Structure 1
Amino acid sequence: MWAISGILAAAGAIFIYEAPALFKGRFMKELWLFSILLVVGTGLSILLSLHVEIPNPLDWIITLYQPFSNLMNNILK
């Protein structure tokens, strides 16, 4: 529970520090992107602190290219 509180406090502090400058400079697209990335990062950090298994994107890439790799290995043998 303390880890989640710390993550939320850090995310809140980051938002309070960064958002006013983006809002004041009228960088609305950048503010939306910053907010979305901050929420995604915060959510992933909370899931990691709860020891939830998060899939690795590298596994998806390996699954996608494995048939091509096997084909090339068979051709080059």
Structure 2
Amino acid sequence: MWKSIGIILIGVLIAIKEIPYLRKHRLAREEIFFWLLLLMATGLTAAYVMKVNIPNPLDWIIVLYRPISEALKPWLIE
């Protein structure tokens, strides 16, 4: 629990430090992208610390491309 709170506080500190720079230079798209990445990273790190089972992105890629691989296998292997 305390680790998760610490991670969230670190995320808030990063936001406090970076947002004035983004607003000063009027970087609206970068600010949106910054918030998106910061929230994803903070959430995934907090979940990892709480030992939540986070799926591997490679598993999704394998599920997506396995049917294509199986369809092409007879032509590729002699």
Partner amino acid, structure 2, of 1:63: V
Equivalent residue, structure 1, for 2:38: 38
Deviations 1:18-42 (A, max 9, x none): 1100011111111111012101111
Unaligned 5+ runs, structure 1: none
Q: Distance in 2 between the 1:27 and 1:72 partners? A: 46
Point out which structure has higher relative CO (alpha carbons under 8 A, 6+ apart): 2
List structure 1 runs of 4+ shifted beyond 4 angstroms.
none
2:51 is paired with a residue whose SS is coil
Deviations 1:27-77 (A, max 9, x none): 111111101210111111111111111111110111111123233433314
Equivalent residue, structure 2, for 1:10: 10
Percent identity between the aligned chains? 42
1:16 is paired with a residue whose SS is helix
Aligned length: 77
Q: TM-score, normalised by structure 2?
A: 0.84
Q: TM-score, normalised by structure 1?
A: 0.85
**In the alignment, does 2:62 pair up with 1:28?**
no
Equivalent residue, structure 2, for 1:56: 56
Q: Distance in 2 between the 1:68 and 1:31 partners? A: 38
